[in-house]
Amino acid sequence: MARYYPVHPVNPQQRSVDQTADLLRGGAVIAYPTDSGFALGTAYGNKAGIERIRRIRELDEKHHLSVVVSDFAQLGTYVEMGNRQFRAVKAATPGPYTFILRASRDVPRAMLHPSHRTVGVRVPDHVTALALVEALDEPIVSSTLIMPGQEEPLADGWRIKEALDNDIDAVIDSGDAGGLPTTVIDLTGDEPGIVRRGGGSTELFE
């Protein structure tokens, strides 16, 4: 049975945030709110947790998971960015975007696209999501919580607990998750590629 942690959207209770971070350190898979609906998350490098996320969402290994960090400056540890990519990502973060970039050597194989050595990266603009990443003191591996056969992310924490009670370990819920998935931009080619249109404007990339 998943634990449920309701928190304040502006000042999330640190005790609940810390308890959720402790669960992640212990190998948990959680649901947490972002500016693009809820996401499934597990600790960076948790191969078993990554496999659970793929199983819940019925994703194959070619679907990019995201490295979620709390600050743009942290992205250089996980992806390679030239000047063009650097400017594009910096202009759109934090915000409801996922960027596909070439992964650094530090990224676990379980997260990589099997053919291209690419990975998603994201800096959410959401108080609770950022507080959780900062409490964990390492990235969260995430995927927007869109259930198989659906097009929109789940946005109600209590309904997520009921639906996934036996599949995840905790839900942290601040009651203010966004309603649209991230806009996904592929920056690995000569020109930006719009993979998915969502909550972030694509004007910068067209």
Q: How much of the chain, in percent, has pLDDT values that exceed 70? A: 100
The ranges assigned to domains in the chain are 3-205
Task: Give burial (CB, 10 Å; 0-12/13-18/19+) of 201.
Answer: middle
Can you give the pLDDT at residue 40? 97
Whether 4 has a pLDDT exceeding 80, the answer reads yes
Q: Which residues contact 191 (CB under 8 A, 6 or more apart)?
A: none
Can you give the pLDDT at residue 41? 98
Can you give the pLDDT at residue 206? 84
Residue 35 is given by DSSP the state B
Distance CA 1, CA 88 (A): 42
* Polymer length of the chain: 206
Q: What is the DSSP string of 84-128?
A: HHHHHHHHH-SSSEEEEEEEPTTS-GGGS-TTT-EEEEE----HH
Torsion-angle region of residue 74: left (phi > 0), alpha (psi -120 to 50) or beta? alpha
- Least confident residue range of 9-13, 58-62, 121-125, 186-190: 58-62
**CA 145, 43, 172 angle in degrees (round to 5)?**
50
157-195 per-position pLDDT tens digit: 999 999 999 999 999 999 999 888 999 999 999 999 999
Distance CA 140, CA 159 (A): 22
Whether 72 has a pLDDT exceeding 90, the answer reads yes
pTM: predicted TM-score of the whole model, two decimal places: 0.94
* DSSP bridge pairs for 97: 183
3-205 fold: DHBP synthase (3.90.870)
